[in-house]
Structure 1
Amino acid sequence: MKKYFATYFRNFDYPLFITYILLCLFGLVMIYSSSMMVAITEQKPPDAYYAKQLTNLKVAALAFIVGAFFPYKHYSNKTILFMLMCVMAVLLAWVNINGMSAGGSKSWISLFGIMNFQPSEYAKLFVILYFAGSLYKKGLRESSIQNVQPNDIIYPISIWLLILFSVGMETDLGAVLIIGVIAMSILAFSGIKGRTLGKFVAVLGIFGTIIIAAVFLIKGDILTESRMGRFLVLKNPFEYADGSGYQIVNGYLAIGAGGLEGRGLGQSIQKLGYLPHPETDFIMAIIAEELGVLGVAIVIGGLAFIVLRGLYIAMTTKDPLARMIAGGIAVWIGFQAFLNLAGLAGIFPLTGVTLPFISYGGTSILLLSLAMGILINISMYYKFDKRKQS
């Protein structure tokens, strides 16, 4: 055990770890700044959201440690995969039977009154680990992942479709998009080539479309006036400034007011009741207003480093399991950040997804921290293997 820890810390990915820590701390500061007025209007202490996120980060730190020290190779273990699937099944049943609504989506559950939990966040990491583990196991049986066909992993595909259906029934369309893209990315990083990859993409695309169509038929109220408005505002949000374009327009005003240097930390005007709950999906607008281009560059630069580091590991490692998990985590973080920022910029409909590591949210930071721990564990093994070969 002592030898393991010595090897571990010798190959620890400190740049990746430091970037993750700095983003979390930066997000904590901005949550405090952006949520003060919201807390006061809700008759809470000014630091209520800050204090809650600080607690969330402490719990997330434990999740990170678990992910960082638990060898990633065990995610292909049949027992581990079964346990992950059981947790997923319980969470999906729980949220559909006794879920709580927030932000227009019934996507939350109360964990015994201790905390609110969003199963769709767990689903993102679950799809990465379960898809990667299942493909890897099947590849070992077939002597190569390249020999795996869609019918060989029909069970994991069926579980993915069930997750899409369940999350779709929660009307959490942002999570549906992310879970769909994650599955496609796992296939892309699996090493499957040519026609076989095309078959997989076709199978997931066709059946995924059928599942989403079924959700729309069953839940006839998905395309509400509010959600349709998110598409209408893309052409000209100022035309709908008093309705569907309200958030985007005020986000623009925050960004414009910040300019190059920003108003100064804590000096935002838009957080004073103009942007509803800016500490969540519109926190970047407050960052831009208070800290200007520098603040925005810190966030985008940090996220880009994590994503590119994950992609680099995925594209250079020889281990298919490491490649799929690292690539899946990088795509998850990158695509979620894109959805958040594209919604703020008005080039994509608002989905309500959080900005990774920055926005307020307990479930989000908990699962992202666990994912970062796993990525750092993969990086450690990757660096160890490179040193052995040199």
Structure 2
Amino acid sequence: MLKKMFQLYDYSIVVTVLLLGLFGVVMVYSSSMVIAVSHYEYDANFFFIKQRMWFILSSMVFFITMILPYRIYFKLFKIIAMGSIGMLILVYLVGHTANNAQSWIAIGGFRLQPGEFVKIGVIIYLAAIFSKKQKYIDDFGTAVIPPLVFTIIIFTLVFFQPDLGTAVLIAMIAVIMTLSSGMNMKNVMKLLGLGALALVILIPSAGKLLSDEQLSRFGAAYDPFADPQDSGMQLINSYIAIAEGGITGLGLGNSVQKTGFLPESHTDFIMAIISEELGIFGVGFVILCLSYIVLKGFMLARKCDDSFGSLLAIGISAMIGVQACVNLGALTGLLPVTGVPLPFVSYGGSSMLALMASTGILVNISMFNNYRKQKLSLDEIAA
């Protein structure tokens, strides 16, 4: 029985995720060696060793969530929702501040970013609550307002850390999942109206809600040369890295921008270094892998015969896809820099752990969906 279930896994997703993670470990080493030498007692392996450790740990979590039946999260969704709010409150009480944001919890020598795990919590909660309310999904007050309130609470707690990037990601994931919940067009229009009203109220207050640094990022995204030595420096050097890489790149390890010109070269802007060193082939490999995972997830959601599993697959796929788009948009100047890492590739243990765990859930949904369909086919033949 167990052997048969293992034959039903979609190993193409497994291989793609592991290849992307391994590629990320290599590129973190290449993009961080200079900054590691200059900041961490001449140890060029500092970031590489940490990222390798997180990759191994995340791979273990990936295989655990791949095997663990995804329906268990439906039973625990209330605990997960309360735990998500609790983690964010804990950040305010004992959080560690880094890069002007109190978004971390320090445990021993490690730092975890609860916001990365809260994204999964929001996905599980929304998938569970919408699947429970399918019979009356068109009742706006009962089916839509409770998850909307929960999302607003989470968004607010993350936004005021301040972590604008994660807050925006959570909002976009929630919007995609809500629109995919099966509600009628009347409720969709009500939600769009509420969203427009919120923007009308919040946009005039942006100067008070956002810090000077956050506001400067909006200007730098669309006119980086107005302040090339400060707010526009990252984007300008990202452009240079992309232009220098061309089609074939300068070769692995040969980036010039990582030698002190491009800040955060191993985190938010790692794709610029990939472009510089490996050219369009390296960039294409990452985009194809990410696109494959996202498209497989959405295809699974469409084929899944369980509303909870379908919404869970939509949420996980949306998280990976939106996060990749926001990251790539920032390094190309299409979007402001918000500190959002490139999925599976950028340096960061919390992001890697959360993404691997969620993708393992996606693989598990695929396996159970295949199992149910195969069992149904055998029953039909027997009949």
Q: Normalising to structure 1: TM-score of the pair? A: 0.90
Q: Distance in 2 between matches of 1:327 and 1:299?
A: 21
Answer whether contact 2:218 2:336 (CA < 8 A) is retained: yes
Instruction: Tell me the secondary structure at the aligned position of residue 325 of structure 1.
Output: helix
The residue type paired with residue 70 of structure 2 is: Y
Q: Distance in 2 between matches of 1:90 and 1:239?
A: 42
Percent of aligned pairs sharing the same letter: 36
Match of 2:112 in 1: 117
- Of 57-66 and 21-30, deviating more is 57-66
- Could you report, residue by residue, the CA deviation over 1:53-79 in whole angstroms, capped at 9, with x for unpaired residues? 1111122123212321121122221xx
Pairwise CA distance, 1:214: 12
Answer whether contact 2:40 2:46 (CA < 8 A) is retained: no
Match of 2:270 in 1: 283
Match of 1:378 in 2: 365
Answer whether contact 1:261 1:294 (CA < 8 A) is retained: yes
Match of 1:18 in 2: 15
Q: Distance in 2 between matches of 1:205 and 1:100?
A: 34
Instruction: Report the RMSD for the aligned CA atoms in angstroms.
Output: 2.1
Superposed, 1:120-199 pairs within 5 Å as 120-139=115-134, 144=135, 146-152=137-143, 154-199=145-190
Of 71, 85, 92, 2:88 maps to 92
Q: Distance in 2 between matches of 1:24 and 1:301?
A: 14
Q: Distance in 2 between matches of 1:221 and 1:194?
A: 32
Match of 2:52 in 1: 54
Q: Distance in 1 between matches of 2:116 and 2:206?
A: 22
The residue type paired with residue 232 of structure 2 is: G
Distance 1:205 1:15, change over 3 A: farther
- Of 312-321 and 152-161, deviating more is 152-161
Distance 1:206 1:41, change over 3 A: same
- Could you report, residue by residue, the CA deviation over 1:232-272 in whole angstroms, capped at 9, with x for unpaired residues? 22333233221211001101111111111111000000000
Of 320, 328, 345, 1:341 maps to 328
Distance 1:122 1:161, change over 3 A: same
Instruction: Tell me the secondary structure at the aligned position of residue 222 of structure 2.
Output: coil
The residue type paired with residue 127 of structure 1 is: V
Q: Distance in 2 between matches of 1:209 and 1:87?
A: 32
Q: Distance in 1 between matches of 2:204 and 2:220?
A: 27
Q: Distance in 2 between matches of 1:85 and 1:228?
A: 31
Distance 1:150 1:22, change over 3 A: farther
Pairwise CA distance, 1:223: 3.0
- Whether 2:220 is the aligned partner of 1:233: answer yes
Distance 1:31 1:349, change over 3 A: same
Pairwise CA distance, 1:82: 2.7
Match of 2:69 in 1: 71
Pairwise CA distance, 1:135: 1.4
Of 179, 200, 210, 1:222 maps to 210
Superposed, 1:312-323 pairs within 5 Å as 312-323=299-310
Instruction: Tell me the secondary structure at the aligned position of residue 72 of structure 1.
Output: coil
Unmatched 5+ stretches in structure 1: none
Answer whether contact 2:137 2:144 (CA < 8 A) is retained: no
Q: Distance in 2 between matches of 1:125 and 1:41?
A: 36
- Could you report, residue by residue, the CA deviation over 1:116-146 in whole angstroms, capped at 9, with x for unpaired residues? 111111121111000111111233xxxx254
Superposed, 1:326-365 pairs within 5 Å as 326-365=313-352
Of 35, 38, 46, 1:38 maps to 35
Match of 2:380 in 1: none
The residue type paired with residue 193 of structure 1 is: N
Instruction: Tell me the secondary structure at the aligned position of residue 106 of structure 1.
Output: strand
Answer whether contact 1:354 1:364 (CA < 8 A) is retained: yes
Q: Distance in 2 between matches of 1:203 and 1:232?
A: 27
Answer whether contact 2:81 2:122 (CA < 8 A) is retained: no
Match of 1:103 in 2: 99
Aligned residues: 376
- Of 99-108 and 231-240, deviating more is 231-240
- Could you report, residue by residue, the CA deviation over 1:149-174 in whole angstroms, capped at 9, with x for unpaired residues? 34345443322211111101111111
Instruction: Tell me the secondary structure at the aligned position of residue 30 of structure 1.
Output: helix
Answer whether contact 2:136 2:143 (CA < 8 A) is retained: no
